[in-house]
Structure formats: C-alpha cells, structure tokens
Amino acid sequence: MLKGIKLLAALSPVLAAAGLAGATMLAPAAPAHSQSMGDVMGAARKVAQAATVSDEQMVAYFGQMSDEMDRRNPLAPAKDPYAVRLAKLTQGLDSYDGLNLDIKAYLADDVNAFAMGDGTVRVYSGLMDAMNDDEVRCVIGHEIGHVKLEHGQKRMRRALQQDAALSVAGTASGGVRQVANSELGGLLQNVMYAQHSQKAETASDDYALTFMAARGYNLQGCPSAMDKLAALNGGGGGIALLQTHPNPAARAKRMRKQIK
C-alpha cells in the first residue's frame, strides 16, 4: 500500500514560558466580545484550511491513521493461515482502478473490514471466518469503492472543519504536515467510525459488483455476504461492520436485482 510515508508526531512551536509569564500577570483580561470574535475567526480559518488540504497531505493523514490502526491491532504474519488465504484470494490486487493497495489481515475476532484513503485495506479474521472467498472479495471491493469514490476523504475534510480542537502539528520532511499523535484517536472516531450516508453505501455496493465482474469473481458473493451479515446481526452479536453500514438484508435484495 501507499504506506511508505511514516510520519513522526511533531510539536507545534510554543512561546517561551518565562517570557510569557510576566506579561500574562500584568495584562488585563480580554473583553468577552474580543474572545468571541477570536473564536469565530479561528473557526473560519479551520474551515478554510480544511478546504485547501492537498491530495498529498490527505494521503499523509490517512497514512498516520493506518499506522495507528496497525499499532492497535495485530497484523497476521506472512505465514499465518489468514495472511496466506487473504494473499491467495486477492492475488493481483496490489493495485486496482488507479489505486495502490496494501491488503492485510488483522488477527481479531471482529466481523469487520475497512479501507483508508492511502490504499490501506484491512480485513479482520473474524470476518474471514464467517465468509467464503468471494464474499470476502465483495467486502474488499465495497471498501475499495469508498476509497475510489473519496467518501473517506470527504469525511476527513468535514472532521478537520468541525473539530476546532484538532491540532495539525509541525511539518515533516517534504513539507507535509501531520496530525499530532494525541489527536489521532479523535480523528479515527470522526473519519472511520462515523456512518456513511445511504447514498455513499449504495454507490460502494454498486462499485463492489463492478469490481467483482471486472476481476472475474462470482457476483453472488455480494448478496451472500449481506445474507451472512444479516444472520449474524439477527443473532444479537453486535457486528462491528453494521455499526457503520445500513441494513444488510435490504442491500442483499437490491444486489440480487442488479445481478439478474
């Protein structure tokens, strides 16, 4: 995947405490209306900065988030059965539709998968246990769809605009800025764990079907995957994937109509 960028957290420059201390003690309190105007101007700058984030910068942010997710979850070693199976069923998918992909498995029981805007794709072993190869492929195609259609990038820009506390710290080599490590958890929550719109999910489902056809996979893997998610959810398992995705039974029905 495009994970060649390894970013180290940097600290924003700060005023020297000794020089600031005396001035702070002697300065009068700022009027309330001045503080309010400062908040407004700060929020406006935040919106303007988020709107002008470059593609390179966006990839760097997603790279940080991918690294953080890999830090939190155990990656399957190359010779692990899950890694071997995933490599086999995604053979030839180092790149697809103009995207460089890094597809790996997590050794975690969650029935889940995700993709990042830098081309990271992660599939949880719990999902692989529940699904056959073509069903896993359809889930991967759906997640790639979110990347290609820039759904994650749009959520990233919204998160950068809305989170007034988010620190974009320092400048790394090459002039690419990064999010402070202390802020990564909040960014993950706002970008990864927020639910996509119904329109975005439908578009990614359509993309998955096109992906399956283009790769010569069995398209029935898509509605079949949704059937399994619906059955698992009906059992009260609290499927992680369904916390950010719409009703799988309805999606399966729609997919079958498209396949005919």
Q: Catalytic residue numbers?
A: 143
Would you say the C-alpha torsion 251, 243, 131, 213 has a positive or negative sign?
A: positive
Name the helix (H) or strand (E) containing 171: strand 168-171
- 60 and 177 in contact (C-beta within 8 Å)? yes
Q: Which long-range contacts (CB under 8 A, 24 or more apart) does 146-151 make?
A: 146/115, 146/196, 146/200, 146/204, 147/99, 147/115, 147/116, 147/117, 147/119, 148/97, 148/98, 148/99, 148/207, 149/200, 149/203, 149/204, 149/207, 150/117, 151/196, 151/200, 151/203, 151/204
- In DSSP notation, 193-234 reads SSPPPHHHHHHHHHHHHHHHHHHT--TTHHHHHHHHHHHHHH
